C-alpha cells in the first residue's frame, strides 16, 4: 500500500480541516490492505461493515473525535447489484490510493448547492446505511458523485443526522496534515472557498496525501 515514512517534519502539509469527516483509502484487496496497514502503523483497523448492494466493505481507524480513515475495498461475497457502479472506481482499481475525502457541513443541502455552484456538482442527496459487526444500524445522508468532480481532490459531503459519529469507538492514530495537487488548482480553490474548507493544494497531477502520526513514526498515506 502507499504508506511510506515521512521524509520531512510535515512541511508542505496544511492544517487539518475542522469539518473533516473521513478520508477514503480505496484498495483492490481489503484483507491484504488491512494486514499491510497493521504492519506499517502498529494499529489494527476495526471492522466497519458491508455496503450491501454496492459490493464493498470497509475497515476504519479513528483520526479525531469526529473524523476517521476509511479503508474500503470490494466485497467478493456480496457483489454489487446489477447495474450498480462500485464507488470510488473500485471495479477498475489496480493499486491502493487515497482517492478522496468527506466533510460534514452544518447544512448539507446548502453545502451541496454551494459546491455545485462553484463547479463541483455532487448530484442528489441520498440516504445510506450499514450495520456494524455487532448489529448496530448506522444511517447517514450523502452528496457524492461518480466519477468524482475534480478527481476527488475537492470533498464530498456527509450528514450523520441522529446517528452517533463512529470515530470515538475506533482505534486511533493522529492526523497531522493534508495536502493535494491538481492540474487546475484554481478550480479546486474555488470549490474549497465555496464550502469554506481548507486544503493545501499545489499544481500537479491529481493526488491527495495525509501525514499520519503512528506508533511506528510519521507516515504519509497517498
CATH number (domain holding residue 98):
3.10.180.10
pLDDT tens-place string over residues 3-18:
666 655 556 899 999 9
- Side-chain-facing half-sphere of 59: CA atoms under 13 Å: 18
Number of domains in the chain: 1
SS3 68: strand
Grid cell, residue 117, equals: 455552484
Question: Under 8 Å CB-to-CB from 207, ≥6 apart: which residues?
Answer: 98, 153, 180, 181, 182, 222
Instruction: Decide if 198 is inside a domain.
Output: no
Note if the bond before 147 is cis, omega within 30 degrees.
yes
More confident call, 100 vs 76: 100
Instruction: Decide if 218 is inside a domain.
Output: no
Instruction: Decide if 5 is inside a domain.
Output: no
Instruction: Decide if 179 is inside a domain.
Output: no
Q: pTM for the complete prediction?
A: 0.93
**143 and 125 Cβ atoms separated by less than 8 Å:** yes
pLDDT tens-place string over residues 111-132:
999 999 999 999 999 998 878 7
Average pLDDT, the chain: 92
pLDDT of 160: 95
Instruction: Decide if 44 is inside a domain.
Output: yes
**199 and 180 Cβ atoms separated by less than 8 Å:** yes
Domain boundaries, position 144: 19-172
Instruction: Decide if 8 is inside a domain.
Output: no
Compute CA 124 distance to the chain's CA centroid, rounded to the nearest angstrom: 19
Instruction: Decide if 189 is inside a domain.
Output: no
Q: Mark 115-139 as b/e (b = at least 16 C-beta within 10 Å).
A: bbebebebeebeeeebeeeeeeebe
d(CA 137, CA 166): 11
Instruction: Decide if 25 is inside a domain.
Output: yes
Instruction: Compute and round to an integer the Cα radius of gyration of the chain.
Output: 16
pLDDT of 79: 83
pLDDT of 133: 78
Amino acid at each position: 500500500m502507499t504508506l511510506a515514512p515521512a521524509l520531512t517534519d510535515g512541511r508542505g502539509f496544511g492544517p487539518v480541516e475542522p469539518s473533516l469527516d473521513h478520508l477514503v483509502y480505496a484498495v483492490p484487496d481489503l484483507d491484504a490492505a488491512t494486514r499491510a496497514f497493521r504492519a506499517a502503523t502498529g494499529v489494527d483497523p476495526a471492522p466497519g461493515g458491508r455496503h450491501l448492494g454496492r459490493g464493498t466493505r470497509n475497515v476504519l481507524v479513528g483520526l479525531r473525535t469526529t473524523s476517521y480513515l476509511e479503508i474500503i475495498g470490494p466485497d467478493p461475497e456480496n457483489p454489487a447489484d446489477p447495474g450498480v457502479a462500485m464507488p470510488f472506481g473500485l471495479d477498475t482499481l489496480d493499486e491502493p490510493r487515497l482517492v478522496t475525502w468527506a466533510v460534514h457541513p452544518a447544512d448539507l443541502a446548502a453545502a451541496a448547492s454551494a459546491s455545485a455552484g462553484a463547479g463541483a456538482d455532487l448530484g442528489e442527496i441520498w440516504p445510506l446505511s450499514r450495520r456494524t459487526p455487532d448489529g448496530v444500524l448506522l444511517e447517514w445522508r450523502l452528496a457524492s458523485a461518480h466519477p468524482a468532480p475534480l478527481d476527488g481532490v475537492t470533498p464530498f459531503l456527509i450528514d450523520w443526522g441522529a446517528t452517533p459519529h463512529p470515530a470515538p469507538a475506533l482505534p486511533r492514530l493522529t492526523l497531522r496534515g493534508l495536502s493535494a495537487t491538481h492540474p487546475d488548482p484554481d478550480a479546486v480553490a474555488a470549490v474549497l472557498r465555496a464550502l469554506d474548507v481548507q486544503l493545501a493544494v499545489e499544481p500537479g497531477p491529481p493526488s491527495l496525501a495525509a501525514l499520519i502520526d503512528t506508533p511506528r513514526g510519521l507516515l504519509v498515506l497517498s
